[in-house]
Amino acid sequence: MFRHAIVRKPGANFGDGLTTSDLGAPDFKRMTVQHDAYVSTLEELGLKVFVLEPEVVFPDAHFVEDAAVVTPDIAVITNPGAMARRGEEKTIEPVLADFRPIALIEPPGTLDGGDVLMVGSHFFIGISERTNQEGAEQLGHILERFGNTWKAVDVGKGLHLKSGVNHVGGDMLLLTEAFSRMEVFAGYDQIVLDPGETYAGNSLWINDHLIVPQGFPDTLAKLEKLGLPIHVSDMSEVQKMDGGLTCLSIRF
Ligand code: CIR
């Protein structure tokens, strides 16, 4: 059960952030509307939302998920894998320090929160361009101190683990065909994404509600069968910067 979320408003220069997408230049006004709607949805779901101000020197800083991993026991402040994003975590730590003891991922370990999928007390940690083995092991050892288990997963081509696999309640995972074939996910119920709708893999479960990106009818139909209330969000400007629903908040 999540009670709180941290978000950060996108800055006017958010289009200067890192991206591999070819969806065109993002629009700040539309981004602001989409971000405001996202915050309203979190509030409708009963979360108290802490809204941080933009950070001009970090155009990707509204993707707050990458700066911390929060469990019921601890908040782990990351060492983000992209040099351009290193330092975003500094303004997240004081907010979390009011709620949890703090631990740090230390260099040479790197870790982005987008690579960490929590399913109850088990954690999947993606090894990606942003998260290295050392960062994954540091996080894993911290999690083990609190009785959690974890497994490393090779992310392959995508940006982050949660770009392609997410928990949608119970024992159910929403995931791409490539992830569905991996042994580590074999013990779970699975909704496998249509290859044309992989972006919708970044759907967000919050307290038995689902937030799903707009424009993915096959995924929507599959998720509707779970019987959970579904909130559909326009994520067009977020997607242009390689972001998604999970990236925009830290839930705890
Ligand atoms: C980046 O490349 O770091 C940002 N433009 C997007 C980060 C998305 N974060 C996430 O998936 N957790």
Residues 141-162: tens digit of each pLDDT: 999 999 999 999 999 989 999 9
What is this structure's pTM?
0.98
pLDDT interval class at 181 (50, 70, 90) = very high
Closest atom of ligand 1 to 202 CA is 11
Expressed in angstroms and rounded, the spacing between residue 31 Cα and the centre of ligand 1 is 15
User: Which residues face 89 on adjacent strands?
Assistant: none
Q: Are strands 165-167 and 250-251 parallel, antiparallel or unpaired?
A: unpaired
DSSP H or E run through 25? none
d(C-alpha 25, C-alpha 16), whole Å = 10
Residue whose Cα lies nearest atom 5 of ligand 1: it is: 18
pLDDT tens digits along 92-112: 999 999 999 999 999 999 999
Query: To test ligand 1's pocket by mutation, which of 128, 159, 166, 248 has the most ligand atoms within 8 angstroms of CB?
Result: 159
- Cβ of 247 closer than 6 Å to ligand 1, yes or no, is yes
pLDDT tens digits along 61-75: 999 999 999 999 999
Residue 233: strand, helix, or coil: strand
- Cβ of 66 closer than 6 Å to ligand 1, yes or no, is yes
DSSP H or E run through 105? none
d(C-alpha 5, C-alpha 164), whole Å = 22
> Which residues does the annotation mark as catalytic?
160, 247
pLDDT of residue 74: 98
